[in-house]
Amino acid sequence: MVNTQVNLCGIPLDNPVIPASGTFGYGYEFATWYDINLLGTFSFKGTTQEPRFGNPTPRIAECKAGMINAVGLQNPGVQNVIEEELPKLKPHFSKPVMANVSGFSIEEYIHCCQLLDQEEQIGWLEVNISCPNVHGGGMSFGTSPRAAFDVTKAVKTVTKKPVFIKLTPNVTDIVSIAKACEDGGADGISLINTLLGMRIDLKTKKPVIANKMGGFSGSAIFPVALRMVYQVYESVSIPIIGIGGVSTAEDVIEMMLAGATAVQVGAANLINPYACKEIIETLPQTMDQYRIQSLQEIIGGAHT
């Protein structure tokens, strides 16, 4: 009998499969299709201090091996999430959930994290300093080791729960930024967020997306994400959540061999709402195929 359990900062997960923020809503929407308690956990929609309508439309552009989005962190605001979204989730999900937090200033990150840290349902905080779809915040904090350190340290002063910092791949040295987060007190690293991309409509001869550029996700970015997980694993001693182009049980195992403790599934959920369910259900058979008895034991296995 194979063992799919892993431990993420002291919290046990039945399996390492986590739907990524922005692709799974607040969870209860998917509960109409299947029992979401089979998930390891999930990261809910990126939350800011105030409600955000997001970017103008069109926000989505299709690609051959993925998609580009520029939703722009549309969300109802942190107070609404606490008062309305989490109570709606509670009857459907009995496990700790991951709270994804975005912001436009260090003060905003502090405010949101301080409030969400007090919620019993929340097990981890995932601080997004890597969103390429907004102006004046988000990714600007994730492209500088100093800024990443400052955000991490500030958030850690007001939280008791494990904090994962979500990083952008749109940098020249992902390792230095990950190490800065670790030095700032991060309990883990989530990587990667989307690559920056665009499409042009040949008929109008203008960018497809109103924002011109957006986050490129999907199976095409898996090798980039895998490479960055591998690099960061060799340089930090805190757990990594691998994200980017994951769509199969084989991808999950490959990410874990590179150094991920858990794995998030993003764009695949938008193609197939049962994607995570199917990955989890095929994981034991795939482990048998590759003679893997325990997933916890293979983390970083490609490095030895």
Judge residue 296's burial from the number of C-beta atoms within 10 Å of its C-beta, 0-12 exposed, 13-18 middle, 19 or more buried. Answer: middle
Question: Residue 262 belongs to what H/E stretch?
Answer: strand 262-265
Task: Answer yes or no: 113 catalytic.
Answer: no
Which residues, 6 or more positions from 128, have their beta carbon under 8 angstroms from its beta carbon? 21, 46, 100, 101, 102, 138, 166, 193
Q: Which of 9, 63, 113, 131 is catalytic?
A: 131
Supply the DSSP string of 209-252, one letter for each residue: STTS-EEEESGGGHHHHHHHHHHHHTT-SS-EEEESS--SHHHH
- Decide the pairing of beta strands 188-191 and 195-197: unpaired
**Torsion of Cα atoms, 115 then 120 then 122 then 124, to 10°:** 90
Catalytic residues: 131
